[in-house]
Amino acid sequence: MKPRFKTSYDADIDRFHGRWHRAQYLILVAAALIAPWILGNYYVGELSSVLVWSLAGMGVMLLVGHTGQVSLGHAAFMAIGAFTHLALMLRGWPFLPALLAATLASGISGALLARPILRLSGIYLAIATLALGILVEDLAIVAEPVTGGVRGLVAPPIELFGFTIDRYGTPIAFYYLCLSIVVLVTLAYANLLRSPTGRAFIAVRDSEISARALGVNVTRTKTLAFALSCGITGLAGALYAHLAQAVNFESFLVIISIALLLQVIVGGLGSIHGAFFGAVVIVLLPQGIAIGRDLLADVGIRVAAYPGLDMAVFAVIIIVLMVLEPRGLYGVWLRVRTWLELFPLYRKGMFRRARSYLKTERLK
């Protein structure tokens, strides 16, 4: 590993470690800007989808990966964001204010729900949020004036700075819209993590008791994390509404919440990269399976189209990852990178984690 020589005080608070690190991310952004001009319309749509799910993943990651509160109900906040956004746009609001209002609406509802729910922890919290997800699913049908009931709502085209942006009409413009929002949120997220608030989130994740001892207001921190997380997820929901063109209660079933959690876990908990890795896997996996099936068909093996195959393959990937590398794809990448940086000095046990053995306060 290259030692880092700091030649100015600014190096301490710089988001990037040195020029090469900065250059890597610039190359990534450049690649993302060029990509739609190289790929066909279909794949531009898939890329937009990756971006929207990354955004939702970042919302979940903030809560699960960085604050340590497991949520199995985040599709509910995507639903709140999506329905608020579309309901406002259909009542004549312009795109940006509606987007902002949707983010605020899901963030505020998250903050309100956080108070009673965050008294629970661990599995109890997971199951309470799961119940919440089921309730919102039902609410989406009942609140017909806002959500359009069972039929749902259809997304109008976006008017922004004199352009008309539509997912199918102008896919590249829609892609750039998603990209700019995702880049802004990612920057804000990365900055948040090095602020006192972000450090408090991580402290609460690692040990609530020591965080409290260090003067962190745990309740306030958890509530804030929940609100921010729900806000980001709501923003993703609003974008998803434009991506899918039409949403109804079925767009945000509980299974989506579970998939969102699995997505950030596949990507790697506790890293922003993980949200993106997970989104790439979850969006491109069905494509990969379809391509694989075509290849098999070419050599004469016909695989019947089993329903639910992509979810099962995804689940198998998760099982393998959980057993071999619980930190997900980002953990794999870290290992590979360290192996390359240290070659030939990499040792096997470098990423081993301490195990903790079960000890409970239960009496029976």
Chain contacts with other proteins (rule: CB under 8 A) = 70, 116-117, 119-120, 122-124, 126-128, 130-132, 134-135, 138, 141-142, 209, 254-255, 258, 261-262, 265, 269, 306-309, 311-312, 314-316, 318-319, 322-323, 326, 353, 355-364
Spatial neighbors of 122 by CB under 8 A, at least 6 apart, are 70
For other proteins, give the closer residue by CB, 244 or 318.
Answer: 318
Q: Which is nearer to other proteins, 26 or 213 (CB)?
A: 213
Nearest distance from C-beta of residue 244 to other proteins, angstroms: 23
> For other proteins, which is the closer residue by CB, 90 or 126?
126
Please check whether residue 230 is in contact with residue 59, taking contact to mean a CB–CB distance below 8 angstroms.
Answer: yes
Nearer to other proteins, 102 or 125 (CB): 125
In angstroms, rounded to a whole number, what is the distance separating the alpha carbons of residues 59 and 227? Answer: 10
Closer of 1 and 305 to other proteins (Cβ): 305
CB 300 to other proteins: min, Å: 21
Q: Are strands 153-154 and 158-160 parallel, antiparallel or unpaired?
A: unpaired
Q: Which residue number, 79 or 130, has a Cβ lying nearer to other proteins?
A: 130
Task: Compute the least distance from the CB of residue 72 to other proteins, in Å.
Answer: 9
Which residue, 71, 105, 109, is CA-closest to 259? 71
- What would the two tokens of residue 220 be? 């306030």
Minimal distance in Å, beta carbon 261 to other proteins? 7
Q: How far is the CB of 314 from other proteins (least distance, A)?
A: 7
Comparison of 158 and 262: residue with beta carbon closer to other proteins: 262
CB of 121 to other proteins, least distance (A): 9
- Which residue number, 70 or 178, has a Cβ lying nearer to other proteins? 70
Nearest CA among 283, 271, 277, 288 for reference residue 329: 277
Are residues 275 and 236 in contact, defined by beta-carbon separation less than 8 angstroms?
no
In terms of CB distance, is 125 or 165 closer to other proteins? 125
Measure the CA–CA gap between 310 and 323, rounded to whole angstroms: 20
The number of residues in the chain equals 364
Given a contact cutoff of 8 angstroms between Cβ atoms, the answer to whether 246 and 154 are in contact is yes
Nearest distance, CB of residue 123 and other proteins, angstroms: 5
Q: How far is the CB of 210 from other proteins (least distance, A)?
A: 10
Count of other CB atoms within 10 angstroms of residue 246: 13
Residue 234 contacts residue 108 (beta carbons within 8 Å) = no
> Measured from the CB of residue 173, what is the shortest distance to other proteins in angstroms?
36
Q: Are 102 and 240 in contact (CB under 8 A)?
A: no
Sequence-ordered alpha helix ranges (H) in 245-308: 254-267, 272-298
Q: Please, which residues have CB within 8 angstroms of residue 23's CB and are 6 or more apart in sequence?
A: none
DSSP assignment, residue 163?
A: E
d(CA 204, CA 338) in angstroms, rounded, equals: 28
